[in-house]
Amino acid sequence: MESQKASVKKIALNYGLMMALGTIVVSVIVYVMGMHMEQPWWQSVLNFAIMTAAIVYGLKTFKKEGDGFLSLGDALKTGLAISLVAGLIGSIFTYLFVTVIEPDFVTQMLDVTREKMIENNPQMTNDQVEMAMGMTEKFMSPWIMTAMGLIASLFFGFIISLIAGLIMKQNRPENY
């Protein structure tokens, strides 16, 4: 019997694009609401829900196009490919956001971080605050922020793909 193999590339492009657009729309909504400095908790929840939905539906599509079979390896490969596409698009958006759309974003975030640090740790000396802010500033560069976004996308994509793959897996029989 001739078996059909689903296209990881096609699924990753389609669902990765949908995931990226969904998370970018959430970011734009947060920005328009003027809440981008606070990073509201519901933004993370929505982004995680969008990511989960994109990966799960991508795996369902892969399984459907692959004669109803999905191995754990295929689930991980497909989910990570979706996450990679979305992470790359999201990283480009983040870079454009912090360098073109809102070029003062990093400076503003550092100011907010300094205020929160002093508020939460009033016993810190000026030297301690400056040392902590120096470290924080290194992680707030546009390139580091984009790289961290891509790494986070791949990490959570792996976890979601692993769980969904274990639930949805249907191995192809030996004689199929």
Nearest to 69 by CA among 170, 137, 166: 170
Query: How far from chain centre, in Å, is Cα 4?
Result: 30
Please, are residues 69 and 63 in contact by the beta-carbon 8 Å criterion? Answer: yes
Burial of residue 51 (number of CB atoms within 10 Å: 0-12, 13-18, 19+): buried
Q: Does residue 74 register a pLDDT over 50?
A: yes
In tens, the pLDDT along 37-70 reads 888 999 999 999 999 999 999 999 999 998 889 9
| Structure-block tokens of residue 54 | 């994109």
pTM, 2 dp? 0.86
Q: What is the mean pLDDT of residues 161-166?
A: 97
First to last CA, the chain: 7
Q: Domain extents for the chain?
A: 8-168
2 phi and psi, to 5 degrees? Answer: -80, 120
Q: Does residue 79 register a pLDDT over 50?
A: yes
